[in-house]
Amino acid sequence: MRTILAGLALCSAIASLTISLVTNVALAAEPSPELIASGKALVEAGDCAGCHTADPAKPFAGGKRIDTPFGAIYAPNLTPDRDTGIGAWTDADFTRALRTGIAPDGSNYYPAFPYPYFTRMTKDDTLAIRAYLGTLAPVASRNKPPELRWPFGYRGLMRLWNAMYFKPGLFEPDQTRSAAWNRGGYLVTGLGHCGACHTPKNYFGADRQAQALSGNEVGGWYAPRLDGAARTGLKSWSEADITEYLQSGRNAKSHAGGPMAEVVVNSTSKMSDADVRAIAVYLKSLPPARRETITTPPDEAEMKAGQAVYAKLCVACHEADGTGSPRIYPPLPGNALLQSINPSSTLRIILDGAYTVTTPRAPNTGEMPAYAKQLSDGEIAAVTNYIRNSWGNAGLVVTPAQVAKARKEK
Ligand code: HEC
Ligand code: HEC
Ligand code: HEC
Separation CA 22–CA 41 (nearest Å): 30
The per-residue pLDDT for range 360-383, each reduced to its tens digit, is 999 999 999 999 999 999 999 999
Distances (CA, A) of 9 to 1, 6, 109, 230, 299: 12, 5, 53, 77, 97
Q: 360 and 241 in one domain?
A: no
pLDDT value, residue 98: 98
- Quote the number of domains for the chain: 3
Q: How confident is the model at residue 9 (pLDDT cuts 50, 70, 90)?
A: very low
Q: 159 and 52 in one domain?
A: yes
Buried b (16+ CB within 10 A) or exposed e, 63-85: bbeeebebbebbbbbbbbbeebb
Q: How confident is the model at residue 28 (pLDDT cuts 50, 70, 90)?
A: low
Q: Say how many C-beta atoms besides its own lie within 10 A of residue 363's C-beta.
A: 8
Pick the atom of ligand 3 nearest to 367's CA: 12
Which residue from 220, 200, 224, 221 is spatially nearest to 212, judged by alpha carbons?
200
Per the CB < 8 A criterion, the answer to whether 59 and 43 are in contact is no
pTM of the model: 0.94
Q: Is 134 in the pocket of ligand 1 (CB under 6 A)?
A: no
* CA-derived radius of gyration, the chain: 25
Q: 45 and 142 in one domain?
A: yes
Q: Is residue 380 assigned to a domain?
A: yes
CATH number at residue 393: 1.10.760.10
pLDDT value, residue 1: 42
Last residue of a domain, one of 142, 165, 188: 165
Q: Is 316 in the pocket of ligand 3 (CB under 6 A)?
A: yes
pLDDT value, residue 30: 86
Separation CA 129–CA 131 (nearest Å): 5
Return all residues near 186 (Cβ < 8 A) that are at least 6 apart: 120, 171, 173
Q: How confident is the model at residue 189 (pLDDT cuts 50, 70, 90)?
A: very high
Last residue of a domain, one of 254, 284, 314: 284
Q: Is 71 in the pocket of ligand 1 (CB under 6 A)?
A: no
The per-residue pLDDT for range 45-74, each reduced to its tens digit, is 999 999 999 999 999 999 999 999 999 999
Whether residue 14 has pLDDT greater than 60: no
Distances (CA, A) of 173 to 108, 168, 169, 388: 28, 15, 12, 39
User: Percentage of the chain surpassing pLDDT 70?
Assistant: 93
Q: 371 and 315 in one domain?
A: yes
Whether residue 349 has pLDDT greater than 50: yes
* Residue from 221, 314, 357, 368 to probe ligand 3 pocket by mutation (most atoms less than 8 Å from CB): 368
Per the CB < 8 A criterion, the answer to whether 227 and 233 are in contact is yes
Separation CA 334–CA 389 (nearest Å): 10
Q: 257 and 151 in one domain?
A: no
The per-residue pLDDT for range 259-297, each reduced to its tens digit, is 999 999 999 999 999 999 999 999 999 999 999 999 999
Q: 373 and 310 in one domain?
A: yes
Q: Is 370 in the pocket of ligand 3 (CB under 6 A)?
A: no
Whether residue 406 has pLDDT greater than 70: yes
Q: How confident is the model at residue 410 (pLDDT cuts 50, 70, 90)?
A: confident
Average model confidence (pLDDT) across the chain = 93
CATH number at residue 222: 1.10.760
Q: 317 and 204 in one domain?
A: no
Buried b (16+ CB within 10 A) or exposed e, 217-236: bbebbbbbbbbbbebbbbbe
Ligand 1 geometric centre to CA of 56 (Å): 17
Which residues does a 6 A CB cutoff place in the pocket of ligand 2? Answer: 188, 192-194, 196-198, 218, 221, 223-224, 226, 242, 245, 254, 256-260, 263, 268, 279, 336-337, 345
Q: 306 and 275 in one domain?
A: no
Return all residues near 66 (Cβ < 8 A) that are at least 6 apart: 51, 72, 73, 74, 75, 112
Q: 184 and 161 in one domain?
A: no
- Domain carrying residue 184: 179-284
Q: Is residue 255 assigned to a domain?
A: yes
Residues present in the chain in total: 410
Separation CA 170–CA 178 (nearest Å): 18
Mean pLDDT of the 147-172 span: 96
CA 382 to centroid of chain Cα atoms: 32
Mean pLDDT of the 73-89 span: 98
Q: 195 and 154 in one domain?
A: no
